[in-house]
Chains A and B, each alone.
Chain A
């Protein structure tokens, strides 16, 4: 068992199965497991001294701990301390420094493209946390036959098929 910080599950196993069964009534869905996926969370302070619309606050960014794919977050996640067995944790493959650089670069890129500031805003790192995000691994079955497997985000309910042979 390893002690980790994880997001709390919003959609239970039963809710996920029930929702998917409503989408596709001809199949039965079974939850195979719950896996925890690593992300690095970075919180930056942000200050823009634009006289027309000055802005000061915090902005969050996560970096996928395996692929290094960055994403913006809408609020600071709340973490729970959990003990999880090793095989349910997807191993981290990203160096922390590299993840930090990725987060910073992504933030600047997003800001420069999306909010188009005339000068670079001041951004500095305020907080860092490694945390795990729970995904349900769900099988879609017809009778005895397993047709496909999905991962279902246990917080947003979004899903995606797996490429398991």
Chain B
């Protein structure tokens, strides 16, 4: 066993001990255990959020694209950085008003209620299950590569070991994922990535020096059209690259666990702000490191190993090994939460609701575990026999999810006529187009990014589908109209609205209206 592997094992055991120790100490009661981690300050919470959002893509996929294409890769970062702003300012308000009116607490529930159809929920759940799994496959490959680098094992063995650890970790309890271990992880990764970036930039003379070196190797690295001007004039590719992150995450399904505090509470809104600001800065770092890699690692055979290789270049082996161990643990945390989400959607929203309504809780949990195991087995097969790049897989999975959901979400608030047939056609056409475009490499023929093609066909699916089936109910059309109008609520009041009270607000409105009506009649 080499020194790096010993460090990795010690790191994992340390996190496990920290996790178990905090689990025992903090979770003295069951509700503390389930609802734990609410009493932390904004900084800790922000770093924890940051740590969970860092995945294999950030450390391997993004830098690899930058290493191969130069400054063209920054389009993806621009979309990522601008995504939350676009979402909040353009679509956010109407969708927020609509979810209040519908009393919906999760994106899939929102679609089911807005389009008045269980079939919409089933299709949305199935698409989510398949493509969240594909997203996890990218994490698996990243785990295999991180372990390969740490242990010196060959890729296949490292991959099986990595996936095995992730699956075991997921089904046995996820002890590493307590808030304090996420915090420690966050600090190591933030310091690590910033350290490598600073060292790299100092080494090659700052951003100006970096650009001069890139120009000396190949001036097209500086072009916005990609290396060798591969995407010259292809605005369809550029637009797709920006849009994929700018709007995709709106379509990512999540489920809100609702909590009612029996005493007065202060919500930590500062954490979201700190995290958002930090994200705007951090989102560019992996790409800049990819550019540094072009200059400093000209003979690197695997572009996804830019950050691990730079870590070993700038830091003593021990520190680099700690950073890679933190990366591996972060991959485990990210995979764990997505795997659990996938298992829960399949076992509860599909199996229990449609296949076996009388299933015992033990059986439902078993189905969820089998789902996680199945994703693991398929993940091993995909990653060994046909390993796509992490970048390609993340872009594919995020793209299909975005193509499936973005048009249905926009239509839900901008069109009173959008109905369930339209939304089903839109989801299927959007997802199908992205899959066919990617598998058939149609972007090279058409110059149109698979994501952009998916958006176009998804819109077409919505327009055609809306001509069939029943129009939305009168009540629903009235709600869409209502969601369009501006609400006369001052900014200061508006920004502190607690959206988890939406169902109560909707029902109290109805109650007050009926009381007023009765009073008028009497």
Q: In A109-165, which residues have CB < 8 Å from any B CB?
A: 109-120, 123, 135, 137, 140, 147-148, 150-151, 153, 155-165
Q: In B135-157, which residues have CB < 8 Å from any A CB?
A: none
On whether the beta carbons of B341 and A113 are closer than 8 Å, the reply is yes
**Interface window among B296-304, B434-442, B469-477, B481-489:** B481-489
Which chain B residue has the least Cβ–Cβ distance from A164? B509
User: Shortest Cβ distance from A80 into chain B, in angstroms?
Assistant: 13
**A108 with B364, Cβ < 8 A, contacts A113-B341, A147-B489 known:** yes
User: Shortest Cβ distance from B212 into chain A, in angstroms?
Assistant: 51
**B492 proximity list for chain A (CB < 8 A):** 23-24
On whether the beta carbons of B34 and A59 are closer than 8 Å, the reply is yes
On whether the beta carbons of B505 and A114 are closer than 8 Å, the reply is no
On whether the beta carbons of B101 and A163 are closer than 8 Å, the reply is yes
On whether the beta carbons of A159 and B171 are closer than 8 Å, the reply is no
On whether the beta carbons of A59 and B30 are closer than 8 Å, the reply is yes
In the complex, what distance in Å separates the CA atom of A157 from the CA atom of B170? 37
On whether the beta carbons of B498 and A64 are closer than 8 Å, the reply is no
**A159 with B31, Cβ < 8 A, contacts A109-B348, A147-B489 known:** no
**B502 proximity list for chain A (CB < 8 A):** 160
Kindly state whether residue B513 has any CB partner on chain A within 8 Å: yes
**A53 proximity list for chain B (CB < 8 A):** 20, 23-24, 173, 175
**B34 proximity list for chain A (CB < 8 A):** 59, 72, 110-111, 114-115
On whether the beta carbons of A20 and B493 are closer than 8 Å, the reply is yes
In the complex, what distance in Å separates the CA atom of A59 from the CA atom of B518? 41
On whether the beta carbons of A114 and B30 are closer than 8 Å, the reply is no
Kindly state whether residue B2 has any CB partner on chain A within 8 Å: no
Contact of B508 among A70, A112, A140, A151 (CB under 8 A): A151
User: Shortest Cβ distance from B228 into chain A, in angstroms?
Assistant: 47
Kindly state whether residue B386 has any CB partner on chain A within 8 Å: no
On whether the beta carbons of B170 and A116 are closer than 8 Å, the reply is yes
What's the A-B contact tally at a CB cutoff of 8 Å?
Answer: 203
Task: Using A10-B264, A163-B506 as known contacts, list a sample of 18 further A-B pairs with CB atoms less than 8 Å apart, ordered by residue number in A.
Answer: A37-B504, A50-B173, A56-B30, A59-B30, A69-B105, A72-B259, A72-B260, A73-B261, A74-B263, A104-B361, A110-B257, A112-B365, A140-B493, A147-B490, A151-B508, A155-B263, A156-B261, A160-B501
Contact of B264 among A50, A52, A155 (CB under 8 A): A155
On whether the beta carbons of A161 and B35 are closer than 8 Å, the reply is no
- Residue with the greatest number of chain A CB neighbours at <10 A, chosen from B27, B170, B347, B511: B511
**B89 proximity list for chain A (CB < 8 A):** none
Which chain B residue has the least Cβ–Cβ distance from A10? B264
**A74 with B35, Cβ < 8 A, contacts A37-B507, A90-B507 known:** yes
Contact with A along B82-108 (1 / 0, CB 8 A): 000000000000000000110101000
Kindly state whether residue B445 has any CB partner on chain A within 8 Å: no
B contact residues, range: 35 or more
Kindly state whether residue B520 has any CB partner on chain A within 8 Å: no
On whether the beta carbons of B340 and A158 are closer than 8 Å, the reply is no
Contact of B497 among A57, A58, A76, A160 (CB under 8 A): A160
On whether the beta carbons of B488 and A148 are closer than 8 Å, the reply is yes
**A75 proximity list for chain B (CB < 8 A):** 31, 262-263
What is the predominant secondary structure among interface residues of chain B facing chain A? helix
On whether the beta carbons of B509 and A163 are closer than 8 Å, the reply is yes
On whether the beta carbons of A137 and B508 are closer than 8 Å, the reply is yes
**A163 proximity list for chain B (CB < 8 A):** 100-101, 482, 505-506, 509
Kindly state whether residue B432 has any CB partner on chain A within 8 Å: no
Kindly state whether residue B499 has any CB partner on chain A within 8 Å: yes
**A113 proximity list for chain B (CB < 8 A):** 255, 257, 340-341, 344
On whether the beta carbons of B493 and A160 are closer than 8 Å, the reply is no
**A87 proximity list for chain B (CB < 8 A):** 515, 518
Which chain B residue has the least Cβ–Cβ distance from A86? B515
On whether the beta carbons of B260 and A62 are closer than 8 Å, the reply is yes
What is the predominant secondary structure among interface residues of chain A facing chain B? mixed
Count of chain A residues with a beta carbon within 8 Å of a chain B beta carbon: 72
On whether the beta carbons of B20 and A135 are closer than 8 Å, the reply is no
On whether the beta carbons of B100 and A160 are closer than 8 Å, the reply is yes
Kindly state whether residue B42 has any CB partner on chain A within 8 Å: no
On whether the beta carbons of B513 and A164 are closer than 8 Å, the reply is yes
On whether the beta carbons of B488 and A147 are closer than 8 Å, the reply is yes
Which chain A residue has the least Cβ–Cβ distance from B499? A160
Kindly state whether residue B172 has any CB partner on chain A within 8 Å: yes
In the complex, what distance in Å separates the CA atom of A127 from the CA atom of B27? 22
Which chain A residue has the least Cβ–Cβ distance from B498? A158
User: Shortest Cβ distance from B326 into chain A, in angstroms?
Assistant: 21
Which chain A residue has the least Cβ–Cβ distance from B505? A160
Kindly state whether residue A103 has any CB partner on chain B within 8 Å: no
Kindly state whether residue B45 has any CB partner on chain A within 8 Å: no
Kindly state whether residue B174 has any CB partner on chain A within 8 Å: yes
Kindly state whether residue A4 has any CB partner on chain B within 8 Å: no
- Residue with the greatest number of chain A CB neighbours at <10 A, chosen from B173, B344, B501: B501
On whether the beta carbons of A35 and B259 are closer than 8 Å, the reply is no
In the complex, 28 of the A-B residue pairs with CB atoms within 8 angstroms, ordered by the A residue number, are A10-B263, A27-B490, A53-B175, A64-B503, A69-B105, A72-B34, A72-B260, A73-B259, A74-B263, A104-B361, A105-B348, A112-B343, A112-B347, A112-B364, A115-B173, A116-B340, A118-B171, A118-B172, A135-B508, A147-B488, A147-B490, A150-B493, A151-B501, A159-B497, A159-B498, A160-B100, A160-B505, A161-B100
Contact with B along A1-39 (1 / 0, CB 8 A): 000000100110000000010011011000000010101
Contact with A along B334-355 (1 / 0, CB 8 A): 0010001101100110000000
